Structures are given as structure tokens and as C-alpha cells.
Amino acid sequence: MIILSSEMYSNRAACDNGIASVKTNAVNDSRYDKLASLRGAFYFNLKAGNGQVIGTSEMYTTESARDNGINSVKANAPNAPVESEA
């Protein structure tokens, strides 16, 4: 299951920096923007300290489900293993 997606990176170093930023910022409540789409679905953005969006969640049907997604990122991202597909 994909909980958080980032931009596409042009090289491995940029990708590694993005991963490190997610791991660092995931534990900070103030880095999450809780949002709702025009169609009434709920999602969140994870931001870096400079305000740049570093990840966007999947769409959720309820605010509670979105908040559970945030809690999952907070709990799992800092120590998550990194797998390369290339």
C-alpha cells in the first residue's frame, strides 16, 4: 500500500535527499497540511522546513482515515527501509 508519494527525481542523489527529508520531517506535526479535495476526499501533504511539499498522500474517504495515514507515516517513515527498483 502506498501512503505517501513524492515527485519524480532525475538522479539517485536527489532521490536520497528526498528520502532523508521525509524521514526527518515525518515526526513533526507542524509539517503536515490536512486537506480536502473539491470532491470531498481527504488527503495530506508532508512539507520540509522550507515549506516545500515533499510528499502527498493517497485520497481517503474520511478525515479519520487521513489522520490514521499521517500517524502511520509518523510512526514508520523515520526507520523505514529503502528499496531500490532500478
For the chain, domains (ranges, CATH) are: 4-79 (2.30.29.80)
Q: Which long-range contacts (CB under 8 A, 24 or more apart) does 48-56 make?
A: 48/21, 49/25, 54/6, 54/18, 54/21, 54/22, 54/25, 55/4, 55/5, 55/6, 55/22, 56/4, 56/5, 56/6
Is the per-residue pLDDT at 1 higher than 80? no
Tell me the pTM.
Answer: 0.89
Is the per-residue pLDDT at 74 higher than 80? yes
In tens, the pLDDT along 6-64 reads 888 899 999 999 999 999 999 999 999 999 999 999 999 999 999 999 999 999 999 99
